[in-house]
Structure 1
Amino acid sequence: MAKEAAFAAVDLGAESGRVIVGTLQSGQVQLEPAHRFANVPVRTPDGLHWDVLRLYNEILHGLHSAARVHGDALIGVGIDTWGVDYGLIDAGGRLLGMPYHYRDVRTDGIAGEAAERVSASEQYARTGIAQLPINTLYQLLAQRKTDDRTLDLAQSLLMMPDLLHYWLTGLQSSEYTVASTSGALGVDGRWATDLLDRLDLPTHIFLPPTPPGTVLGGLGPAVRDECGPLRARVILPATHDTACAVVAVPAVPHQPGVSHAYISSGTWSLFGLELDHPVLGEQERLSGLTNEGGVGGTYNVLNNIMGLWLLQECRRSWARQGQEWTYEELSGLASEATSPGAIVDVDDPAFLHPDNMPAAIARHLQRTGQEPVEQAALVVRAVLEGLALAYRVALERVERLAGIRVDTIHVVGGGAGNGLLCQLTADACRRPVLAGPEEATALGNVLVQAMGAGEIRDLAEAHAVARSSTELVVYEPREDADWDDRAQRLRAQRDYPVTGAARR
């Protein structure tokens, strides 16, 4: 790996997007931002949608900037996004309507209706995916229920990164890791056509899954006209952002029966293990454990936790009231505040899409017999402590169900830069927390592209390159017996089915 190779990682999150160039040389990756932009959904009379045309234009802008700086050294381009959302393509290759946002309310109650036709246990045994309201499977059922004609006109279904890759290359594909979030892909890696048939959903729209690291093809003429002459090819990363982030976890090999856990911390928090097998069973289903596809034959066995979404929405609500803070300022205020002692169950479904998050938190506390907190610093502190408690419960769950002892917790993604959250996590879980990298998804995107280009041999080497490329911050747990009591109180107050929250 002495020769320099550069890859453009397009990483789209629920709140923002970025084009980052990763340069691989001498066993390390250096990340350099080429373009950053906001990701703002659009609400129309028929629901909440992603502004996918603007996102595509921002991607082209970022690739132009990357090409101007790196030229022929740029050999790969790959896009990762959140899971579950999709576009439908007609026989002429045209997009049928703007893709819906997973937070659109049209799927409310659909999972229960699906379970009347195919039991939740059978769905889980077939796919390994928790029955979350925003799964692709339930979005398609919502379209069928509302007589949405686009489903009848569709010739193919492309998940969000597949759609954007299609526009870059003119080639349609269905990358495996993001397909695995749909609730329609079997744990065997093939589409669950028997399940789709029983739910009266079309099966012909699902393309054969393509493994991460596949070289899809060159950029189309219109893209080259827009971005300048590029010899780079589209190399499919793990197009699901969580799978990318897991590749970038700078973990060391463990003995059998012992493992690290990871928290991919951003709008959503994904707490899980990277295993070579799925973890299936009725207890696993009832615990909200999900088995998403990973790189190199692995499974990301994890719990979906609501994540920093609560803080993002609090900040948005306060800004509407004229109180504007940066995330760093809010974290600083919370660090100086005394714990309010409140138990915020961040996985309460009421937090999925409220109009006013601080008010939703206040109602949650009242409903669970607690005093509401109103001061911004105390609300933020309560949210961060609630996340740490959710991680504690998830840790206990995955250790028990997977039969593995976790010795360390790696926090990657944006939450790795929140020192208070990382320390609270170490305290609550009583495990050392290793924080970094913050740009884990972009780094993982680059690493998988490099695997596809033959620059990195396998997943083990990818983890080693991640270690060499990351400066870790270590948080040691502090003794505080109060976390045991808080965890017990959280378990006691959960009076609704524990199914995680929803996937990013």
Structure 2
Amino acid sequence: MADRYIAAIDLGASSGRVMLSSYQSQKITLTEIHRFSNGYKSDGKNFCWDLNYLEQEILNGLNKIIQKGIKLDSIGIDTWGVDYVLLDKQGQIVGPTYSYRDHRTDNIMSKVQDEIGTENIYQKTGIQFLTFNTLYQLKAMMLESPSWLSQVSDFVMIPDYLIYRLTGVLNREYTNATTTQLVNVATQTWDKDLLDYLGIPRKWFGDICMPGNQVGYWQSAKGDRIPVIAIASHDTASAVIAAPLMDQHSAYLCSGTWSLMGLESKQPFTGKEALKANITNEGGVDGNYRVLKNIMGLWLFQRVCSEHEVKDINQLITLAKQEQPFAFLINPNDPRFLNPDDMTETIKQVCLENIGQAPKNLPQLVRCIFDSLAHLYRDVLNELSMLSGKPINTLHIVGGGCQNAFLNQLCADLCNVNVTAGPIESSALGNVGYQLISLGEIADVNALRQLISQNFDTKYYQPKSN
């Protein structure tokens, strides 16, 4: 049997990659072909994404593969959630493509909750209340009522827009659509009442499609027509597909700029206790929901490192490890940490408010971040265990953050569970894997997880007795 060659376009909020995978006879490889930076830009008023730049970098990566003489079997795209693109009848972008870290949604969520009811929204969507959810982004837009609104013909999420640019075909993929807080958790379709509340025409929103469908073709410079498959296009959905979940007593933690901790479940958790815990029920694959909670994650650490121009991150982590544990604790999900002008000073200010003193140096500041994340991981894991009615014995950490051995061990110790770390490239592997499932090369997600476990290293951490 000939090798299958798969391209996975994996875009995060801080960087993007075009990855090449080969698959044959239970052996799967993953090679980075092209990496590029990503980040929101300021237009003087708002923080926005540069989609023309992202599209060009994607094409640069795909062309590098073609120039190697490799004939691709398919292409898939995953990105972050909640952010969207508006198109006119000619398929051109209308208005800015806002970043979820833009401040225009400040105070909008509470307004929407007051007007239509917190429980009402949660019962409809099962989605966690976050200030930047698409529901609140669109409400902010409609309150501003910009002059270009009348030009809009279509609403699509970021990965669906990029697929459209490759194929000329519009698609609305389920897993990313659910991050909007506009999809009804029971019907898995756009919720009419919420769209009516926003005053947005239903015709902007096409039918939602489950992942795995071939949307169209990208034509390479050599004339090859390569299928483009709408995989589970929310990067967390792809990462969970690649997480080695083997039983009902294991949870996942997708660790990166964001930390997303959760379970797979055939039923959503939308009761009062789930609402109180602010648990989300995002769409997964094979009839599963991703019952999880968003945690601000390594964003705090990344911002601090940037502000202090840190050159050796590993050395900084080593120094932080030597600091007194749990001397300073914050809530990483405090809204003040979403996009402050100065992360260092904001963390210090919160510490002063909490205990009357603040970290005096950078290692203490970093120790504060890691200790606080581990504490929040423990709290969320306990919430998930309580809601599911089952003990959680193993936590599978995947994504780039799983390389942080110190945080992994802290997590094992505080959560008192066994921790596995890996694969690192989980979202790209989930992207590739679902393409292979769609192509009929792999039977299902369970078979994919076994395949990934056989081909990629995993590290293990056991809780240390106190």
Category of TM-score, reference length = shorter chain: over 0.9
Following TM superposition, by how much is the alpha carbon of 1:370 offset from its aligned partner in structure 2, in angstroms? 4.0
Q: Following superposition of structure 1 onto structure 2, how do residues 33-112 of structure 1 map, counting pairs within 5 Å?
A: 33-69=32-68, 71-72=70-71, 74-112=72-110
Q: Which runs of 5+ in 2 are unaligned?
A: none
**C-alpha separation between the residues in 2 aligned to 1:62 and 1:4?**
20
Q: Following superposition of structure 1 onto structure 2, how do residues 119-130 of structure 1 map, counting pairs within 5 Å?
A: 119-130=117-128
What SS does the aligned partner of 1:97 have? coil
**C-alpha separation between the residues in 1 aligned to 2:22 and 2:431?**
12
Could you tell me which amino acid in structure 2 is paired with residue 17 of structure 1? G
Q: Following superposition of structure 1 onto structure 2, how do residues 199-210 of structure 1 map, counting pairs within 5 Å?
A: 199-210=198-209
1:467 equivalent among 430, 450, 453? 453
Following TM superposition, by how much is the alpha carbon of 1:63 offset from its aligned partner in structure 2, in angstroms? 0.5
Aligned to 2:174: 176
**C-alpha separation between the residues in 2 aligned to 1:281 and 1:463?**
31
What SS does the aligned partner of 1:238 have? coil
What SS does the aligned partner of 2:73 have? strand
Aligned to 1:385: 371
Where relative contact order (Cα < 8 A, 6+ residues apart) is larger, the structure is: 1
What SS does the aligned partner of 2:463 have? coil
1:354 equivalent among 340, 344, 348? 340
Q: Which runs of 5+ in 1 are unaligned?
A: 481-504
TM-score by length of 1: 0.90
Contact 1:71 1:230 survives alignment (8 Å): no
What SS does the aligned partner of 1:244 have? helix
Residue 238 in 1 paired to residue 232 in 2?
yes
Aligned to 1:408: 394
Following TM superposition, by how much is the alpha carbon of 1:247 offset from its aligned partner in structure 2, in angstroms? 0.3
Aligned to 1:432: 418
Q: Following superposition of structure 1 onto structure 2, how do residues 37-436 of structure 1 map, counting pairs within 5 Å?
A: 37-69=36-68, 71-72=70-71, 74-187=72-185, 188-220=187-219, 224-225=220-221, 228-252=222-246, 254=247, 258-319=248-309, 324-339=310-325, 341-436=327-422
Identity %: 38
Q: What are the superposed Cα offsets for residues 155-213 of structure 1, whole Å, 9 maximum, x if unpaired?
A: 11110000100000000111000001000011121110122112323221111111111
Following TM superposition, by how much is the alpha carbon of 1:335 offset from its aligned partner in structure 2, in angstroms? 2.6
Contact 1:342 1:370 survives alignment (8 Å): no
Could you tell me which amino acid in structure 1 is paired with residue 216 of structure 2? G
Following TM superposition, by how much is the alpha carbon of 1:402 offset from its aligned partner in structure 2, in angstroms? 1.7
Aligned to 1:24: 23
Instruction: Point out the more displaced range, 93-102 or 177-186.
Output: 93-102
What SS does the aligned partner of 1:180 have? helix
What SS does the aligned partner of 1:406 have? coil
**C-alpha separation between the residues in 2 aligned to 1:35 and 1:55?**
12
Q: 1:211 to 1:70 in 2, by over 3 A?
A: farther
Contact 1:343 1:386 survives alignment (8 Å): yes
Following TM superposition, by how much is the alpha carbon of 1:70 offset from its aligned partner in structure 2, in angstroms? 5.4
Q: What are the superposed Cα offsets for residues 39-73 of structure 1, whole Å, 9 maximum, x if unpaired?
A: 0221012300011111111100010112223522x
Contact 2:79 2:235 survives alignment (8 Å): yes
**C-alpha separation between the residues in 1 aligned to 2:146 and 2:315?**
45
Runs of 4+ in 1 over 6 A off after TM superposition: none
What SS does the aligned partner of 1:79 have? strand
Following TM superposition, by how much is the alpha carbon of 1:214 offset from its aligned partner in structure 2, in angstroms? 0.8
TM-score by length of 2: 0.97
**C-alpha separation between the residues in 2 aligned to 1:326 and 1:181?**
35
Contact 1:261 1:271 survives alignment (8 Å): yes
Q: What are the superposed Cα offsets for residues 257-310 of structure 1, whole Å, 9 maximum, x if unpaired?
A: x42100000000000001111111122112110000111111100011000000
Contact 1:90 1:96 survives alignment (8 Å): yes
**C-alpha separation between the residues in 2 aligned to 1:198 and 1:427?**
46
What SS does the aligned partner of 2:81 have? coil
The alignment yields a C-alpha RMSD, in angstroms, of 1.4
What SS does the aligned partner of 1:157 have? strand
**C-alpha separation between the residues in 2 aligned to 1:391 and 1:346?**
10
**C-alpha separation between the residues in 2 aligned to 1:140 and 1:102?**
11
What SS does the aligned partner of 2:370 have? helix
Contact 1:88 1:150 survives alignment (8 Å): no
What SS does the aligned partner of 2:465 have? coil
